[in-house]
């Protein structure tokens, strides 16, 4: 995510290494790799639960990569720049608050999907910080990117291309002691010279939770439900309504 006050998310194809003097590692979850119908490439996710030194709550550090291969969806396209849009949903599981959706910042909560008759659609929002106007993960208002030159930080992006992985990294947490986090990552071609410019190249959904007084993080679990696409379209529509945001105009792979 983008230096949000409550939490951030990070993604890449390797497990994180914990330095004993600085970080206490709780658990390294097995990498998840996936190809599925409708995706124009290969996704891979690695994640580690940890509690950093002098940090009040555990967090999940994760690294997601997507390697674009148009032949996976029977297409032909050369794309020189693949970025990722991330949508996210927090669900409160504390007694008395069960099922309540929330987001890490007020502005993000303002663009959360509400009141849809299908409960699976509600609670989602495009995952960007208070001050950012582009929907693409780790893109600044001037069009530049917080890229892998900043690998020492908890979040950044590496742009992809044909057969070269796009990678986002993040670290996510909240002060509540019982909640679930759902994430959908959506790679998009952003290359004006490409025949698939602004095309969605796939969807990758995953979730984890934190529960009970122990603060134990649950293993990351993936899913490929088709409703992800409808939920993403609704979250994009809410993003485009918000003042000052750069409109996100995207479409399916040609």
- Is residue 5 very low, low, confident or very high in pLDDT (cuts 50, 70, 90)? very low
Nearest one of 209, 186, 189, 206 to 198, comparing CA atoms: 189
Residue 38 lies in a domain: yes
Length of the chain (residues): 254
Looking at the predicted structure, is the pLDDT value of residue 216 above 60?
yes
Over the chain, what is the mean pLDDT?
Answer: 79
For the ranges 94-98, 144-148, 173-177, the lowest mean pLDDT is seen at 173-177
Task: Name the domain count of the chain.
Answer: 1
Q: How far apart are CA 65 and CA 67, in angstroms?
A: 7
Residue 126 lies in a domain: yes
**pTM for this prediction:** 0.82
Handedness of CA 45, 250, 128, 121 (dihedral sign): negative
Looking at the predicted structure, is the pLDDT value of residue 231 above 70?
yes
Looking at the predicted structure, is the pLDDT value of residue 68 above 70?
yes
Residue 236 lies in a domain: yes
Look up the domain containing 162 and give its range.
23-241
What does the pLDDT read at residue 11?
A: 29
Nearest one of 123, 102, 99 to 113, comparing CA atoms: 123
* Sheet with 23-34: strands ordered across: 23-34, 41-52, 59-68, 166-172, 156-158
Nearest one of 233, 87, 83 to 159, comparing CA atoms: 83
**Beta strand 82-92 with 179-189: parallel, antiparallel or unpaired?**
antiparallel
Residue 251 lies in a domain: no
Residue 134 lies in a domain: yes
Looking at the predicted structure, is the pLDDT value of residue 24 above 60?
no
Distances (CA, A) of 75 to 40, 48, 155, 198, 250: 8, 35, 32, 15, 17
Residue 152 lies in a domain: yes
What mean pLDDT comes out for the span 227-250? Answer: 93
């Amino acid at each position: 995510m983008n230096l949000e006050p409550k939490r951030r998310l990070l993604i890449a194809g390797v497990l994180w290494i914990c330095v004993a003097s600085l970080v206490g590692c709780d658990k390294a979850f097995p990498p998840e790799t996936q190809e599925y119908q409708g995706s124009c490439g290969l996704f891979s996710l690695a994640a580690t639960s940890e509690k950093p030194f002098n940090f009040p709550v555990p967090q999940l550090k994760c690294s997601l990569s997507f390697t674009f291969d148009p032949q996976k969806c029977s297409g032909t396209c050369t794309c020189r720049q693949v970025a990722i849009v991330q949508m996210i949903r927090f669900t409160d599981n504390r007694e008395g608050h069960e099922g309540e959706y929330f987001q890490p910042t007020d502005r993000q909560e303002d663009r959360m999907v509400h009141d849809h008759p299908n409960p699976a659609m509600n609670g989602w929002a495009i995952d960007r910080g208070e001050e950012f106007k582009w929907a693409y993960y780790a893109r600044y208002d001037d069009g530049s990117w917080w890229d892998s030159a900043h690998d020492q930080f908890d979040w950044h992006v590496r742009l992809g291309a044909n057969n070269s992985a796009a990678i986002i990294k993040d670290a996510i947490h909240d002060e509540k002691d019982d909640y679930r986090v759902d994430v959908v990552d959506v790679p998009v071609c952003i290359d004006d010279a490409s025949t698939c410019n602004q095309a969605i190249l796939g969807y990758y959904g995953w979730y984890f939770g934190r529960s009970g007084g122990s603060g134990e993080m649950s293993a990351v679990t993936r899913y490929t439900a088709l409703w992800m696409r409808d939920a993403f379209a609704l979250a994009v529509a809410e993003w485009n309504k918000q003042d000052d945001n750069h409109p996100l105009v995207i479409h399916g792979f040609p």
